[in-house]
């Protein structure tokens, strides 16, 4: 951070900043003192459920966001008048209209002097790896997946992140739904036998693949399906071919999302050989050392773009959101 390399923003010694990472599985809000020192120390951290409006609907998503911010403030012993800036980085924010709707709602929740920012959660995830500087690419693979990038001219691009109906096959939901499909296909005679059948039924305490249909549609939550990823990974490690094929396809999908973004933004320069940071975030990329999906994705990307520089962030995306709010707020001299 060039303009406060002493680790402290001038004149900022009171008030707090809120950073929110709103995912499809959980939502995290951190409260940071506005007088910033390295290493980053959070005053408080609150956790709630899903805040992706495409998964749980807008009302529930907003309620979750409101509660998690209120809880973080209360844990830090602060109230809304002490907030200098808020950055909501939420999955499912895909279009300027999504952004505007959330911003309008947020406006009603804080005093008018508070600086407010709404982004897709990928932006905060990138910031968590680059310490607030927006440059490079981030890949998130949790319940959902998305690749997002921004180049040094400020041009942005994204790939995937469109949810389960729109081909988000590399995500946790994608991996798990393909595993469930493989169980159904093995059961009805359309596919090869797989140890996924026993392993998934055991995990869900069901006695027959027929019961999977009812289980699947009993609850529309995407996270509930994606929670089966560890079973797919352990089946692959045991040597199950079907599970291995699903994971390899997931790696291919995730790598393709990254290369599409890098290509469109020319993040590796015109010759395709320049270096660029690739921030790796999400449970799918960290799930298992023996079958390391994240490592395989990097291998795959580096075949096309050898300048890839993988970053596993030391701070979480919610802190990235707070750093982003700060960075922008400071740049815009909002408090001077």
Report the interface residues with its own copies, using CB under 8 A: 53-55, 92, 94-95, 97-98, 157-160, 162-167, 177-178, 180-181, 184-185, 188-190, 210-214, 216-217, 220, 225, 256-257, 260-261, 263-264
Burial class of residue 239 in the structure, from the number of CB atoms within 10 Å of its CB (0-12 exposed, 13-18 middle, 19+ buried): exposed
Residues 6+ apart with CB under 8 A from 8: 35, 36, 37
- Smaller CB distance to its own copies: residue 276 or 326? 276
How far is Cα 102 from Cα 77, in angstroms, rounded to an integer?
25
CB of 307: closest distance to its own copies in angstroms? 19
CB atoms within 10 A of CB 82: 16
How far is Cα 115 from Cα 328, in angstroms, rounded to an integer?
9
- Smaller CB distance to its own copies: residue 54 or 330? 54
- Smaller CB distance to its own copies: residue 213 or 332? 213
- Smaller CB distance to its own copies: residue 79 or 210? 210
CB of 263: closest distance to its own copies in angstroms? 6
- Smaller CB distance to its own copies: residue 34 or 173? 173
- Smaller CB distance to its own copies: residue 211 or 314? 211
- Two tokens, residue 278: 């690739």
How far is Cα 139 from Cα 286, in angstroms, rounded to an integer?
12
- Smaller CB distance to its own copies: residue 131 or 252? 252
Q: Note the residue count of the chain.
A: 336
Please give the order of strands across the beta sheet that includes 145-150. Answer: 156-160, 145-150, 136-141, 276-281, 308-311
How far is Cα 305 from Cα 325, in angstroms, rounded to an integer?
31
CB of 155: closest distance to its own copies in angstroms? 13
DSSP states of 29-67 as a string?
A: EEEEESS--SSP--SEEEEES---HHHH-HHHHHHHHHH
How far is Cα 263 from Cα 240, in angstroms, rounded to an integer?
34
CB of 24: closest distance to its own copies in angstroms? 11
CB of 289: closest distance to its own copies in angstroms? 29
CB of 219: closest distance to its own copies in angstroms? 11
CB of 324: closest distance to its own copies in angstroms? 22
Inter-residue contact 179 to 196 (CB < 8 Å): yes
Inter-residue contact 157 to 149 (CB < 8 Å): yes
- Smaller CB distance to its own copies: residue 53 or 115? 53
- Smaller CB distance to its own copies: residue 16 or 160? 160
CB of 137: closest distance to its own copies in angstroms? 13
The CA distances from residue 81 to 70, 107, 115, 322, 331, in Å, are 12, 13, 12, 17, 22
CB of 314: closest distance to its own copies in angstroms? 29
How far is Cα 144 from Cα 285, in angstroms, rounded to an integer?
12
Phi, psi of 22 (to 5 degrees): -100, 110
């Amino acid at each position: 951070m060039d303009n406060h390399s002493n680790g402290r923003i001038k004149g900022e010694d009171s008030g707090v900043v809120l950073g929110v990472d709103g995912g499809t599985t959980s939502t995290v809000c951190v409260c940071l003192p506005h007088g910033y020192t390295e290493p980053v120390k959070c005053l408080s951290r609150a956790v709630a459920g899903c805040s992706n409006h495409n998964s749980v609907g807008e009302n529930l998503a907003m309620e979750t966001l409101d509660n998690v911010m209120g809880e973080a403030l209360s844990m830090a012993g602060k109230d809304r008048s002490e907030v200098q800036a808020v950055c909501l980085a939420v999955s499912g924010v895909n279009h300027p209209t999504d952004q505007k709707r959330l911003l309008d709602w947020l406006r009603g929740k804080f005093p008018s002097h508070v600086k407010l920012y709404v982004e897709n959660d990928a932006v905060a995830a990138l910031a968590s790896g680059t310490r607030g500087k927006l440059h490079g690419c981030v890949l998130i693979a949790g319940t959902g997946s998305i690749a997002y990038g921004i180049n040094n001219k400020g041009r942005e691009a994204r790939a995937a992140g469109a949810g389960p109906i729109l081909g988000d096959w590399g995500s946790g939901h994608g991996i798990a739904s393909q595993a469930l499909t493989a169980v159904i296909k093995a059961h009805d005679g359309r596919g090869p036998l797989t140890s996924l059948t026993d392993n998934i039924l055991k995990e869900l305490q069901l006695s027959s693949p027929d019961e999977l249909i009812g289980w699947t549609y009993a609850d529309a939550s995407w996270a509930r399906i994606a929670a089966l990823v560890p079973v797919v990974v352990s089946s692959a490690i045991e040597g199950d071919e079907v599970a291995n094929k699903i994971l390899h396809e997931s790696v291919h999908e995730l790598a393709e999302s990254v290369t599409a973004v890098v290509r469109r933004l020319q993040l590796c320069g015109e010759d395709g050989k320049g270096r660029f940071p690739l921030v790796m975030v999400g449970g799918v990329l960290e799930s298992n050392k023996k079958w390391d999906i994240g490592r395989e994705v990097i291998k795959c990307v580096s075949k096309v773009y050898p300048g890839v520089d993988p970053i596993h962030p030391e701070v979480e995306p919610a802190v990235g959101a707070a750093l982003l709010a700060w960075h922008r707020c400071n740049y815009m001299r909002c408090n001077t």
